[in-house]
Amino acid sequence: MNASERDPLLDAVRRLYTELDPVPEGLTERVLVALAVDDLDLEFELLTMVHRSQQLAGVRNGDDQKLVLEFTAPGLTVMLRVSPVDGDLRRIDGWVTRTTDGKGEQPELTASLWQEAGTATAPVGQHGRFEFASVPAGLSRLDLVSTGDDPEFRTTLFEI
């Protein structure tokens, strides 16, 4: 039994919309392009970051080591780029990508970096970017908190 046999009224409504308000030609392709463009800002920023680090590679001291870490969980990916600043200080640039819940709205996040010396926090921007400009080297853990005290996401301990 198909849908038109089960409910002739729904079949009539479908025919009405097909005749009076058909799907515009090329709509599917335009929607797919618009969705792909949403991610271009992040991709451009990541490509620029890689290009900049390659350009300046010969300028920096050979002992300076950059570290890129990636953490994933269902529906969420966190990428961290750790760079030496001065002595035992490090800069952390981070990016968070989340899948949408279908509503398109995501709660605002705060990145919280725990270390033995203390905890630093940074807001996660609209495009998922956050940074810690100068934190001490050592054992660290990153939490992403949306509301309340319980983290939405927590990394394992890592050394910077």
Same domain, 8 and 80: no
Over the stretch 121-158, which tens digit does the pLDDT of each residue have?
999 998 899 999 999 999 999 999 987 667 888 998 89
Nearest C-alpha neighbor of 88 from the set 137, 150, 17, 129: 137
Question: What's the pLDDT band for 53 if we cut at 50, 70, 90?
Answer: very low
In a domain, 41, yes or no: no
In a domain, 106, yes or no: yes
For 4, 136, 156, the CA distances from 128, given in Å and listed in that order, are 46, 23, 20
Same domain, 20 and 81: no
Question: What's the pLDDT band for 103 if we cut at 50, 70, 90?
Answer: low
In a domain, 74, yes or no: yes
Same domain, 29 and 70: no
Same domain, 99 and 29: no
Same domain, 11 and 73: no
The tally of domains found in the chain comes to 2
In a domain, 45, yes or no: no
Same domain, 81 and 144: yes
Question: By residue range, what is the domain housing residue 72?
Answer: 63-159
Phi-psi label, residue 148: left if phi above 0, alpha if psi -120 to 50, beta otherwise: left
Nearest C-alpha neighbor of 94 from the set 43, 41, 132, 140: 132
Same domain, 79 and 144: yes
Strand partners, 137: none
Q: pTM of the predicted model, to two decimals? A: 0.58
In a domain, 57, yes or no: no
Look up the CATH number of the domain holding residue 122. 2.60.40
In a domain, 133, yes or no: yes
Alpha carbon dihedral 13, 19, 21, 24, in 10-degree steps, equals: 130
Over the stretch 29-42, which tens digit does the pLDDT of each residue have?
888 887 777 666 66
Contact 142, 156 (CB under 8 A): no
Same domain, 29 and 77: no
Q: How far apart are CA 37 and CA 79, in angstroms?
A: 20
In a domain, 24, yes or no: yes
DSSP label at 157?
Answer: P
The amino acid present at 111, given as its one-letter code, is: A
Q: What angle is formed at CA 76 by the lines to CA 102 and CA 117, rounded to 5 degrees? A: 135
Same domain, 85 and 149: yes
